[in-house]
Amino acid sequence: MVVGDFPIEVDTLVVGAGPGGYVAAIRAAQTGQKVTIADKGAIGGVCLNVGCIPSKALIQAGHRYEEAHGASEMGIESENVSIDFSKVQSWKESVVEKLTSGVEGLLKGNKVDIVSGEVFFVDDHTARIMDEKSSQTYTFKDCIIATGSTPIEIPTFKYSKRIIDSTGALNLSEIPEKMIVIGGGYIGTELGTSYANFGTEVTILEGMDEILGGFEKDMSALVKKRLKKNNVNIVTNAMAKSSEETEDGVKVTYEANGKEETIEADYVLVTVGRKPNTEEIGLEQVGVEVDDKGLIKIDKQCRTNVSNIYAIGDIVAGPPLAHKASYEGKIAAEAIAGEKSEIDYHGIPAVVFSDPELASVGYTEAQAKEDGYDVTSSKFPFAANGRALSLGSGDGFVRLVTRKDDGLVLGAQIAGANASDMISELGLAIETGMTAEDLALTIHAHPTLGEITMEAAEVAMGTPIHIVK
C-alpha cells in the first residue's frame, strides 16, 4: 500500500456521498469552503444507487405493466401483454446512471474534490482515506459525517442467493413466481407492491398488528385493501422463525396466532429496518458520542459533542429519509460557515410509494393533543373529486389537523393518488404558518387533485362546498 507523504489540508471533509453528504459538500463549497468528499462506494450513496431512485423506477414499471392489461370498466381491453424484465432492469439502471453522473458533475462544478476510499479518523482534525492501493492523510478544520445505514440482518435469515435485502430485490434478473417479504414497513410494502404488479405471488409477514405502523390505521387500511385485491397475502402478528434453502427456493417457518406455519417461495426479502454505519470509522479515536443504537448525538446545528465534527442523515436520530439527510446537510454546512441555521423537523414529510400512496407531515391529531393543542381534524375524500374519479383513483382522503382557535395548520395526512406530490403544499403551509383559511382562499386549478387540499381546508372552516357538512 502506498502512503501519502504529506497530509492534504482542507477546510471541510465530508464523509459519505449520499443525499446527505453530497448536498452538504455542495452547500459548504457555496459558502466558500475548500471541500473534499470521500466515499468507499458510488456517488449518490444508497438512495441514488440501490434505494430511493431504483425502487421508484421499478415501482413505476410495475404500474405500467399492470395498466397495460387494460381497464375493463373504462372499456379498454388488451391481450398478450408481455414483459422483458432484463429491459426493465436496464431502463432502471439508465435512470440511476443519469442521476449519479449528474451529481458527480454538480460536485465538480462546485469545485468539490471527490475521493474514493474508506475513511478512518485519527483525531479530531485528521483522517486517513484508504483504498486497495494507497492511503492518504487529510487534515481538516471541520468534518461532516454522512455514512448512512445498512439493512439489518436477522440471525436466522442470513443473506444468501435466496434470502435477500432491498438491494438484492432491486437487482433480480427474473420476476419471481413467489416472494416472501419479512417486514411490512415502507420498504417491504413498496417492493412487495412492485413485484405483485409484475405478477409475483407475494406474502408479507409483519410482526406488529398492522403494516406501515408509522402511519395512521385508516391510511394503512387503504393500502392493505389494495394489496389484498392484488392477491398479496398479509400475515400480521407473525414471527419469522427459521429458513431452509432448497435447490430452487427457500422454505420459511413462522408463527402467527399461536400456530406454526410453513411457506415456500423463490426468494425471501428481509426488510426489518436499517442500522447506522458508525462502526469501524474511528469515532472512538475522536471521542464522538454514540448511543446504544449506534446513533451519533447532535445539537440543533447537527454538531456532535466534538465542536468541529457534525453528523447527518441515517446516523443521527429520526427517520431514515433521504430528504431529511439533505436538509441536515445544508444545516451543517451553513453552521460551519457561521450561519444561524438550525434543524426543525416539524415540516419534514414522510412518504410511502404504496398503492395508494401515503404521505404525512407535521402533527397527527393524537400527537397534537399529546402536546397540549386543542385541534380540529378535517377530512375530504378523493371520491368527491372529479379528477380523482377520472383517474379511477377514488380511494383516499386529505386530512388537515388545525388549531381550533385560529385554524393554524399543524399537520396533514394524505392517502391517495399523487400523495407524494400533494404533501409539499401542506409542508409549505406548516413552514410558513398558514391557516385553513389561507389554503381555502388559494385558488386551485380545476379539475386537479390539488383541489382536495382546498376542500379539506373548507371542511376545517365549517363551510364545505362539495360534501354535506
Q: Is there a binding annotation on residue 45? A: no
The per-residue DSSP string of 14-67 comes to EE--STTHHHHHHHHHHTT--EEEEESS-TTHHHHHHSHHHHHHHHHHHHHHHH
CB 268 within 8 A of CB 256: no
Q: Is there a binding annotation on residue 178? A: no
Q: Distance between CA atoms of 315 and 294, rounded to whole angstroms?
A: 7
Q: Is there a binding annotation on residue 190? A: yes
Three-state SS for 390-459 is HCCCCCCEEEEEEECCCCEEEEEEEECCCHHHHHHHHHHHHHCCCEHHHHHHCCCCCCCCCHHHHHHHHH
Which residue bears the cell 426489518? 272
Peptide bond into 447 cis (omega under 30): yes
Question: 74 is written with which cell numbers?
Answer: 373504462
Q: Is there a binding annotation on residue 448? A: no
Q: Distance between CA atoms of 434 and 412, rounded to whole angstroms?
A: 12
Q: Are strands 134-145 and 126-130 parallel, antiparallel or unpaired?
A: antiparallel
Q: Which of 3, 16, 4 is nearest to 117 (CA)?
A: 16
CB 336 within 8 A of CB 12: yes
Q: Is there a binding annotation on residue 362? A: no
**CA atoms within a 13 Å half-sphere pointing along the CA-CB vector of 286:** 28
Q: Distance between CA atoms of 452 and 422, rounded to whole angstroms?
A: 9
Q: Is there a binding annotation on residue 314? A: yes
CB 222 within 8 A of CB 233: no
Residue of 69, 125, 323, 446 with catalytic role: 446
Q: Is there a binding annotation on residue 102? A: no
Q: Is there a binding annotation on residue 148? A: yes
Q: Is there a binding annotation on residue 184? A: yes
Angle at 112 between CA 281 and CA 18, to 5 degrees: 50
Question: Using the 8-state DSSP alphabet, how is residue 154 labeled?
Answer: B
Radius of gyration of the chain (CA): 24
Buried b vs exposed e over 376-403: b needs ≥16 C-beta within 10 Å?
bbbebbbebbebbeeeebbbbbbbbbbb
**Helix H or strand E encompassing 201:** strand 201-205
Q: Which of 438, 449, 424 is nearest to 347 (CA)?
A: 424
Q: Is there a binding annotation on residue 183? A: yes
Q: Distance between CA atoms of 172 and 89, rounded to whole angstroms?
A: 8
Q: Is there a binding annotation on residue 56? A: yes
Q: Is there a binding annotation on residue 40? A: no
Q: Is 346 a catalytic residue?
A: no
Q: Is there a binding annotation on residue 187? A: yes
Residues annotated as binding site for FAD? 56, 147-149, 314
Residues annotated as binding site for NAD(+)? 183-190, 206, 273
Residues annotated as binding site? 56, 147-149, 183-190, 206, 273, 314
Q: Which residues are catalytic?
A: 446
